[in-house]
Amino acid sequence: MNGTKLRRRKAPKNAKAGNPEKEVDSEESELEFDFDLWKYTKILAVPLLLAIGVAYYLNPTIFTDAMQSYLGLSEQELAKMVPVLEFPIDFSANVHRRDAVVRAFQHAWLAYERDAMGNDEYHPISHEGTNLTDAGGIGYTVVDSIDTMLLMGLDQEYSRAREWVATKMDFERNATFNTFETVIRVLGGLLSAYHFSGEDSLYLEKAIDLADRIIPAFNTPSRLPLSNINLALREGAIDPNWPQFVSSAEVATLQLEFRYLSVLSRNTLYWEKAETVMHVLKNSLMPHGLASIFLNWYNGEFVLSTLRLGSRADSYYEYLLKQYLQTNNTEVFYRDMYTNAMDAVHKTLIKKSANSVLTYTSELVPEKHPDGQISWRLTPKQDHLVCFFGGSLLLGATTAGALVHPVSVPPRAGELSEQGKRDWETGISLIKTCMATHDTATGLAPEIAHFRIPSDGIGHDPQYPSDWYIKGAHTRPGELPPYDARYILRPETVESLFLAFRLTGDEMYREWAWRIFEAIEKHCRVETGGYASIINVDEIPSRKEDKMETFMMSETLKYLYLIFADANVLPLDKYVLNTEAHPLPIFDIPPKFKDLVQRNPMLSHPILE
């Protein structure tokens, strides 16, 4: 920058006297001056605007927070004073992208139907289907996919799937099935199909038949359901790998389905069984208020085991909130359990990566010392499964953490409680972190991400990026990559993006979802039909594994569809989605059930206010 150019030069005296030569000279000086000032302003303005933009991006409430403390006002007072800039939010469908997702669903379904109709699972590369047990399938993939077809308006595919349920679906299978998986995929799928098919009684009859076969799993001294159930013998069975234990997520992720079934069937039994589990859990919670991953099914007590938001615990937290939402925000018992759990999660498990860029959830692993003392080791590891949690926190902030109902989109600062604001900010940050784990060669996120901490012993190894990495992913040619490196078509990130888009109206979330969809198309699509898992997200060309999980059609493609569909499809104040993305309608507790809830001797805490 030339400082002298900025100095104003006086026009020479003779300018007025009409000396043309000098006049020109004078004009040039002015022009030069104006031009230079503009340039100078621009040079200063660019970094200033950038800094403001970055500050706002990192902390969207920075300006209102500053005003609030300057004026000494409460948030509510400030919210009343400050005119809020209302930007029109476009919740209409992105037809082109929505339809691309529908075509992807057809690509998956038609291949399954061609090669494996009725089988529980599908292997798109070998064009084969398999069942979970030798006793025959129970329709995992078919039932898991039906409500997605109904939402997408795929009538022909739907009528063939319905025909299969009507004529071939059979639960008289003498084999053990995982109780939780059967409830969230099959029972949840049937209930959702019942609702979206215009209450086709076929699905309700099947749902009652299935639930009645599952109920004996709850016949334990603690009333916690066993991990497995023999559907033909109607007998609960232990998990041979963990004979004394059941996992927290498994026992606490049956409630939405059983409660809705009770209302539809007018049979209180299912509600009672599911509700009792929650009271057993509430009475046994560990001092920090978190649920460890295992419980003893005999005495109902939590077992000293890992604390985390990932596998075996994830949907315990998800369903605390969703039970509160399911009955129109009336059961304060669940709101309080959820709120306490979120406080404990923030105190114990929410962490920042080494250079404080990424917020992630850590795990706490108990270690027993020879003298009998227990210590807890913090492990900076986050399962892909945890990526549901960002969206769940946003949903919780705008309901359990809201001071007004409904909140604005996006919520204004004054509309959320302190806890709601904290959960909102953590939720937004966790979604960014999950997107950061998509920063791989394929654009897909691994099954497990580790975050850098100063004591990880990696130091400044250039092979490892500064924030997160896939453990053991640097394999030699010919070696199989570790399990952590896989992408098995999981839905959790797009689930959170769906909630974030609906609750903020920010197009950025649609863009991120589209990026993930394109990566799936590029790396997981099998040209002959279906989608496959890939064994290393950080390897190009990607290597496929011959498996299409049922949640690809029930969850991943459904959430992608919902992100690009009009927001009138499935409004969040009318539906709550079970953990397998089967939407169930929100309802008011029927009076008969209110009595039940208050009378149940197992229920040691009032449910309603």
Which residues are annotated as catalytic? 181, 314, 447, 492
Work out how close the CB of 578 gets to ligand DMJ at its nearest, in angstroms, rounded to a whole number: 9
Work out how close the CB of 551 gets to ligand DMJ at its nearest, in angstroms, rounded to a whole number: 4
Residue 28's H or E segment, with its range, is: helix 20-58
Nearer to ligand DMJ, 122 or 593 (CB): 122
Show binding-site residues.
579
What is the full DSSP assignment across 334-398? HHHHHHHHHHHHHHHTEEE-TTS--EEE-EEEEEE-TTS-EEEEEE-EEEGGGGHHHHHHHHHHT
Is 440 in contact with 537 (CB distance < 8 Å)?
A: yes
SS3 of 417-448: the string is: CHHHHHHHHHHHHHHHHHHHCCCCCCCCCCCE
Work out how close the CB of 580 gets to ligand DMJ at its nearest, in angstroms, rounded to a whole number: 5
Q: How far apart are CA 551 and CA 492, in angstroms?
A: 10
| Paired tokens of 293 | 């991953």
Residue 142's H or E segment, with its range, is: helix 140-152
Q: How far apart are CA 442 and CA 440, in angstroms?
A: 5
Is 302 in contact with 292 (CB distance < 8 Å)?
A: yes
Radius of gyration of the chain measured on its C-alpha atoms = 28
Work out how close the CB of 277 gets to ligand DMJ at its nearest, in angstroms, rounded to a whole number: 16
Residue whose beta carbon is closest to ligand DMJ: 579
Residue 187's contacts (CB-CB under 8 Å, 6 or more residues apart) are 207, 210, 211, 214, 257, 261
Is 340 in contact with 358 (CB distance < 8 Å)?
A: no
Work out how close the CB of 579 gets to ligand DMJ at its nearest, in angstroms, rounded to a whole number: 4
Show binding-site residues for Ca(2+).
579
Residue type, 111: A
Give Cα 536 to chain centroid, integer Å: 22
Is 512 in contact with 501 (CB distance < 8 Å)?
A: no
- Altogether, the residues listed in the chain come to a count of 609
Neighbours of 471 (CB within 10 A): 15
Nearer to ligand DMJ, 108 or 589 (CB): 108
Work out how close the CB of 329 gets to ligand DMJ at its nearest, in angstroms, rounded to a whole number: 23
Please choose, from the candidates 437, 435, 566, the residue with its C-alpha nearest in 3D space to the C-alpha of residue 496.
435
Work out how close the CB of 554 gets to ligand DMJ at its nearest, in angstroms, rounded to a whole number: 8
- Interface contacts to ligand DMJ, rule CB under 6 A: 314-315, 385, 490-492, 551, 579-580
Nearer to ligand DMJ, 411 or 491 (CB): 491
Nearer to ligand DMJ, 314 or 363 (CB): 314
Do β-strands 544-545 and 575-577 pair in parallel, antiparallel, or remain unpaired?
unpaired
Rounded (10°) angle between helices 188-196 and 201-214: 160
Q: How far apart are CA 578 and CA 187, in angstroms?
A: 11
Work out how close the CB of 303 gets to ligand DMJ at its nearest, in angstroms, rounded to a whole number: 21
Helix (H, G, I), strand (E, B) or coil at 261: helix
